[in-house]
Amino acid sequence: MTDQVDRLSTYRSMRDFAATPEPAGEQVAPGTGRFVVQRHRARRLHYDFRLEIDGVLVSWAVPNGPSLDPKARQLAVHVEDHPIEYFDFEGIIPRGEYGGGDVVVWDWGTWEPARTEDPAAAVADGELHLDMHGEKLAGRFVLVRTGEDRSGKERWLLLHKNDDHAVPGWDADEHPRSVKSGRTNDEVAADPETLWRGDLPAAEAAVAIGRNLPTWDPPTPDELAALDALGRKGRWTVQGLDLQLTNLDKVLFPARDGEPPVTKRDFVRYHAQVAPHMLPFLHDRPVNLHRYPDGVDKPGFWHKEMPDYAPEWLTQWRNEEADPGETVCYAVVDSVAALAWMANWGAVELNAWTSRLPDVHEPTWALIDVDPGERSSFDDVLVLARLYRTALQHLGVTAAPKVTGRRGVQIWVPVAGGYTFADTRGWVEKISRAIGRTVPDLISWEWQKDRRRGLARLDYTQNAINKTLIAPYSARPAPGAPVSVPITWDELDDAGLRPDRWTIRTVFDRVREAGDPLAELIGRPQRLPEL
């Protein structure tokens, strides 16, 4: 048998196990006889077809998935062997890591080689016949090597014989749910609480990310229908809580690109529907609000103190350290109804604190704000963001960017407990100063905008208590209601990227297609390297 360490050397060389939840393959019991197929949404959706042979998972990436149709000839790209601990892995691989995306256990079971007693030799020779006994896959399959692609990876065909288990027209994508949990990829992506820690022994690798967050369901179709049926005002009940809604037909956002304008009713609906994606970034955090009760074409104002007429069910936090004249009572937006109430109140921009209750002096995020100046193009912003990408990857720091919905890009870095705001501010400043020295013609360190000569500012000063940046999925005061949206590092190279690309009408398609690369970092206990 080939030495297992050698067989996994390629797998290990392609991953940073301090950043990825995948298993490192430290403890493996030799064996042959099981298989697993994982439905894996990385850059592209594909199916990872894995056979247990001699103590490792011999693996192929199948873009269109296995099929029971005997006429189907599915491309299968032979990839590196994986450790046995990977057999039942279902969860999130962080964006920016090799294979970053969400994974479900699409099928599993046992298999036996056919026409050979040495499956490892059959794979080496380029043809393996096997009988599969899974919950979805059954019958005789054949893997045949056909050549190599341009990168040198072996191209194979995966096909099913015309036997008693054959099903004409059978399509893997019509059977998307996990055999392990019953969940879809979307459901796993939306709930990244449990991940694999590849830097721990296999028996201890399943751990929570920081802490367990609650989950939130969107409003039901009946609840949305009740909202649509209201007149200009009225009472709306959502998830058992009553809201008094007013001026529902008032235009809050002018039209964009030929679309109708956005009314308050539209905005309340958006806040209720986006709650499962937005609330994880707001839960247990005070919020600072930028209100536009008369619409975004009128001047807005910052608002922090909660009024006496706020509903009793709205969670609030009292700041006992407030000096005279400072805000005492902040809102904590932690329910679908609370988000909808904020929309009805004209709170267009929601800005959550980077610290969490009750430890408001300990940030859980370090924030990098690429704040463009009047002369800065979005191409300039992207140059700066890519430099941060290079720096953070060099340091081995996990982070994710997001477009602001206006002109800029922000980068959010999760941090472990125990840091102070002085720690995160100083750390971000050091990285930012180094980047500023790389492209001095693009940036200014002046605090006042009128002294920046229209250049961008790399703002590290937002790392302070009660200083905030726009929350993910919060709208911005511009036509069409553009939204601040997390993106992947690779998307910084997308020629079609714009900072206001997604609006409250299009962001749901985005999340369904791409998931949320920032959500999987919530609560991650990351230590910042010394600089």
Tens-digit pLDDT string for the chain (531 aa): 344 445 555 655 655 545 554 555 444 444 468 999 999 998 889 999 999 998 889 999 999 999 999 999 999 999 998 888 778 888 877 665 667 778 899 999 999 999 998 999 999 999 999 999 999 999 999 999 999 988 889 999 999 999 999 999 999 999 999 888 778 888 777 665 556 554 444 444 445 554 456 789 999 999 999 999 999 999 999 999 999 999 999 999 999 988 899 999 999 999 999 999 999 999 999 999 999 999 999 999 999 999 999 999 999 999 999 898 899 999 999 999 999 999 999 999 999 999 999 889 999 999 999 999 889 999 999 999 999 999 998 888 889 999 999 999 999 999 988 899 999 999 999 999 999 999 999 988 887 777 878 898 898 999 999 889 999 999 999 999 999 999 999 999 999 999 999 999 999 999 988 889 898 888 877 888 888
Rounded CA-CA distance 55/138 in Å is: 23
Query: What does the alpha-carbon distance between residue 298 and residue 485 come to, in Å, rounded to a whole number?
Result: 24
Residue (of 198, 215, 283, 194) closest to 524 by Cα position: 194
How far is Cα 213 from Cα 204, in angstroms, rounded to an integer? 21
Three-class DSSP category at 498: coil
Question: Distance between CA atoms of 314 and 259, rounded to whole angstroms?
Answer: 33
Alpha helix locations (H) across 348-478?
378-395, 421-438
> What is the 3-class SS of 100-132, one letter each residue?
CEEEEEEEEEEEEEECCCCHHHHHHHCEEEEEE
Locate the DSSP E strands across 214-286. 234-238, 241-245, 251-253, 262-263
Burial of 323 (0-12, 13-18, 19+ CB in 10 A): exposed
- As a dihedral over the C-alpha atoms of residue 456, residue 460, residue 464, residue 470, rounded to 10 degrees, the angle is 50
In angstroms, the CA 109 to CA 164 distance is 18
Burial class (CB in 10 A: 0-12, 13-18, 19+), 504: buried
Two tokens at 174?
Answer: 């019509």
